[in-house]
Structures are given as structure tokens and as C-alpha cells.
Amino acid sequence: MKHEHFLDVNELSVEFRTRNGIVKALEKVSIHVDKGEVLGIVGESGSGKSVTAYTIIGLLDRAGLATNGKTAFDGMLLSGAKEALLSDLRGREISMIFQNPRAALNPIRPVGKQIEDVLLRHVQASRHNVRKKAIDMLDLVKIVDCKRRYWSYPFELSGGMCQRVMIAIALACNPRLLIADEPTTGLDVTTQKATMDLIQELTQNRNMSVILITHDLGMASAYCDRLVVMQKGKIVESAPVVKIFSEPQHSYTKKLIAASPGPKSQLADLIATTGEMSEADIEQLDTPMQQFGQKKSATPNILEVFNLVKEFTVRDPSRFRLPWSGKISSHQTFRAVDDISFSLKRGESLGLVGESGCGKSTTSSILTRLLDPTSGDVIFDGENITSYSSVQFAQIPQRAKIQMVFQDPTDSLNPRYTAKDTIAEPLKRLLFIKKREALNERVIKLAKMVGLPENLLTRFPHQLSGGQKARVGIARAISVDPLLLILDEPTSALDVSVQAVVLQLLDKLKRDLGMSYIFVSHDLNVVRLLCERVMVMNRGKIVETGRADDVLKNPQEDYTRNLVSSIPHFEPNKKVA
């Protein structure tokens, strides 16, 4: 059989064996990639994008079975190939950037050593130069102070920095085919642009082929030559990028484009795809003001932060040792948050933006009192909450007034708890509600408030979609009627249609419940849609602040201008020439 393309996938079908029977994940999927081409695969969660990628490189789950079709790479048949051959190809000829970097990286091995492992495994370096090559790769993906970060463990890095390490590992052996599964989900816009520019440069200089799996249509329009749109395991549309965005043919493609936020979009403009709530559905949700009757103070500012500083002790990189194996002897410190001051009004939304490692998550952790500051004061609802240690704060009534929606809707939920148990937990621990009838009544009300069907309350996290898990996380956070809700990248891992629903839901909850938001995000379009003000951080300092529209449309600082100019976007209603 002659193969005309560099990668040729012909009528691939995949099934999974489950407790409830056979599930068809792919049905006669056919794609091809030529040398030097970037193919984008877009679609919602469960459409079969990642299953296609895993099947190509022989990493399909044990419960999965390719029932039909063949895959050929550079004339070599991969379907039915022995594991020894596939193992040799993976990393050297075909490399993959996995969607969840924390799960893909070894948690007890320094990241630099993990890059070395790949280089040595595929004989791309010797023992004498492997460290230099590993450090060069960290530098290539814009890791600051890469010689020190070489010795860092994954848990010591931000999500965005872990993603960059994952990209460095994937590119270390100069593969000829790169499969990138949501490669920039946890990255800020400037690092995202730098990463995609790097991949684009390698594509051109080395004639490398790329399969880019993404839900970011702006990125797909900027970097892909062709797009494949998948829905429920089938390809519904395939065409050059220009044609997809100027003349989409399939109704599903049109809805995906309509659900994507652009530089001029408003929340009301975002349209959910079939199966998700519409804006009208969200507006009809029962969200009465002060559902649980918490009394509010009359002070104008809910939060005031003065001269906040957080320093971390830096481990001695010359000593190769586990960080928990003894006392850290180094006297060097790293200032993650550097003397910042700001305030937040009641009922206001403040966007906190900046590159990975700029101090956003550290600031959020201090505000929620999960971390103790080195110095400075946080005045919340008229009380200095930094006078309590993080352990003490967990025991006082103020704990219930500050809640957080975490970045990863999967990892933040207890896999052994049903949705009902998860939402009920803060009610039992913080409001001390013990009676089953009262708990059930409040959990059902909260589920209705966030648009979660009552029949899903008995399901475990792995039985819920990404959007449903996000709603469980939001319901848990608002269950104790907080005054301040801190949202750490709540939509970064969600499909555009689910993101549209979650953003409209958050906007309604803020209006109806009078909560204040601090919205931490890399997506400046999303920040503009949800926030009145925005605060830009760089290396622990606040470099610019003001009304969201003013800062994002007319930035005054070079750093902010660079952030704004790096946003990938397209005009959904504008014809492409």
C-alpha cells in the first residue's frame, strides 16, 4: 500500500470497554499531515481529539481497542507494530506534548534530569554534554534562571512553568512529527506566543510536521494551515484555516466560532453549543440575594492590601537532594510577591493578569490564607487577617467568607466524593449543618443555582464532564455565601462553549449574590468580559492597574503592551481575504 502523506490515518475506529458496555470513541476518522504542515484538530471534550493522538503513537488506554483503520508514518506502518519499535519512535521521531504536565512529569525527579533522561535514552547527548543541552532546552522555552530551575521539582514550579518543561522535553530530540495536545493551556499569552512561534520556527527550519489539538480557535487560526473539526468521534468538517473561519459549513463549527471570545465580544454574544445552557437558561436560574442570610458590613472596600511581601528560601542547587529530606541550609531567598498594595470594592471584579511565575497564584494563596506572608497586611471586611497564621485562620468564622475556585476542576475535587458530598462538605465544616434534610435541601438549591442537574449529584468526578465539574467547584465555593471569591484560571481547561456558560454563570452569581471577585487568568479576553478593573503583575510587582477596557485597549506600560499584542484572536464575523 502506497502512502502519499508524511502521516496518513485512514478510517480509524476505536472502542472502549466499560462497565456499561462498549463505547465508540472514534468512527472512521481519516486525517493526513504533510511534511512542514501544521494541522489543527478542534472540538469539545469527548470529541475524540486526544484518543486520535494516543492511537497514532500507540499509547491507547488498555481498555481501548482500534477496531478498524491503519496509520502510516513516513511510509512505515504503525498499526499493529511491536512496542519496541513504537518506543524507539516516541520521543525521537514522534514526540508529544501532553495536556496535563503535572501528571506527565515525574514528581520526585528534578525537571532538568527528566530532560536528560530523554536525551540519553535516544542517544542525542553524551554524559559530558547532556546537562548543558538540558539547560539550553530550559532556556529555549523561556524558563527564567534556568540553571537554578534545572534542579527544581515539578511541585516547586507554577502550572505554566511545568508546561514549558513538558514542551522542552518534547522538543529535546528534534522530532519530525510533534503532537501537541493543548500545549498552551496553562501558559500566559506571551509565553504562549513564544512557544507557538518556536514550534512554527522549527516547523519551517526543520520541515517538522505538527498536529495541534486545541480548543483555542484564536491560536488555531494563527498557527495552523488546515483545521479538522471533530464532534462525538467523527470528523464533521475539514478545510484550510481561511475557509473554516470565513465560510464554515457545518452547524457545529459555526457554534464553536460563536462561543469563542474575541477582542470585541460581550458576554451576551457568546453562544453555547448544543447540550449546554443558553444565556436565557442561566438568567432563569434561582439565585436569590444572600441565599443563606449572611450579614454584610457597610465598609466600602471588602479588601485592602498593604505592602504585601512573600519570600521563599531557595535550595542550594549544588546539592542534589530531596527537598523534604532535611532542613534547607541555603540563606538565599526568592521574592515572589514584592511590596504590592491594592484594594477591592464590594461587588467589584478585579482581574489579576501576568506571565507564569509573576506572583499571581502566590498572592491568591496569601489572600485565601493558605500561605503566610513574609510581611504586609491584608485587611478583609475591616479585620487584619494576617494577624492570624494560616492554621489559626482555618478555625475562625472569617474562613467561610473567603472561598476559592481552583484552576483544575478535576484535581480540585475528591475522587471519592460524589458531587453532593463535595458541595455539602463546607456546609458541614464551616456552617456546622449536620441534619441530613437541611443539607440535602441546600445542596439541591446550590445545584440549581449553578445549573447542575439534580440527577448528577450522585455521580463521582470521573463521571462528569469538564463543565459539570467546574459547576460543582463553583457550587462548593459559594455554598457558604462568601463575601470574596477568588477564581484561579477557572475556565482555562474548558471548551469554548462550556467556558461561555461558566462565564455567564459567574457574572449572574456576582450580580445576584453581591460577591466580589478576584479573577486570576492568562486569557485577557476573558478578563475584559468579566472584570471592571485589571491589575497587571510582573516579577512580583504591580506594573499597571486601571479599568479593564482602558488597560487592555490603551496600555501604558511596555510589559502590558507586550501582553496585549500577544493575544491570539480572530474576528468571527469578519470575512478573511
Q: Angle between the 496-513 and 251-258 helix axes, to the nearest 10 degrees?
A: 40
Same domain as 130, residue 187: no
- 26 inside domain: yes
- 375 inside domain: yes
How far is Cα 101 from Cα 111, in angstroms, rounded to an integer? 11
Same domain as 204, residue 69: yes
Same domain as 461, residue 386: yes
- 130 inside domain: yes
How far is Cα 552 from Cα 358, in angstroms, rounded to an integer? 18
Residue 306's CATH number: 3.40.50.300
Task: Compute the residue count for the chain.
Answer: 577
Same domain as 245, residue 346: no
Domain boundary residue among 137, 153, 174? 174
Give the pLDDT of residue 505: 78
- 450 inside domain: yes
Domain boundaries, position 26: 1-93+176-258
3-state class percentages of the chain: helix first, strand second, coil last, to nearest 5: 35, 25, 40
Give the pLDDT of residue 542: 93
> What are the pLDDT tens digits along the chain (577 aa)?
555 789 999 999 998 887 778 888 889 999 999 998 999 999 877 788 888 988 988 888 788 888 898 999 988 888 888 888 888 888 888 998 887 787 789 999 999 999 999 999 888 888 889 999 999 999 888 788 888 899 999 888 877 788 889 888 988 888 899 999 888 776 777 777 877 887 888 788 878 899 999 878 888 888 999 999 998 889 999 999 989 988 899 988 888 888 777 666 666 656 555 455 554 544 554 544 344 444 445 568 899 999 999 998 876 655 555 555 555 555 678 888 999 999 999 889 999 998 877 888 889 989 999 889 999 999 998 899 999 888 888 888 888 899 998 877 777 899 999 999 999 999 988 888 888 889 999 999 888 878 788 888 988 888 786 668 888 988 898 888 889 999 888 777 666 767 777 788 788 878 887 889 999 887 787 888 888 999 999 889 999 999 988 888 888 988 888 888 877 766 544 433 3
Grid coordinates in use for 394?
A: 482555618
Give the pLDDT of residue 575: 37
Q: CB neighbours of 423 closer than 8 A, spacing ≥ 6? A: 443, 446, 447, 457, 472, 475, 476, 479
Same domain as 350, residue 242: no
Same domain as 116, residue 60: no
- 292 inside domain: no
Q: CB neighbours of 375 closer than 8 A, spacing ≥ 6? A: 307, 308, 309
Same domain as 184, residue 156: no
User: Nearest CA to 515 among 388, 405, 422, 377?
Assistant: 405
Same domain as 444, residue 338: yes
Domain boundary residue among 149, 174, 199? 174
Helices (H), 109-188: 111-121, 130-140, 146-149, 159-171
Same domain as 337, residue 428: yes
- 282 inside domain: no
Give the pLDDT of residue 291: 43
Same domain as 38, residue 131: no
Give the pLDDT of residue 288: 46
Give the pLDDT of residue 294: 46
Same domain as 212, residue 155: no
- 118 inside domain: yes
Same domain as 115, residue 204: no
Total of domains in the chain: 3
Domain boundary residue among 132, 149, 174? 174
- 70 inside domain: yes
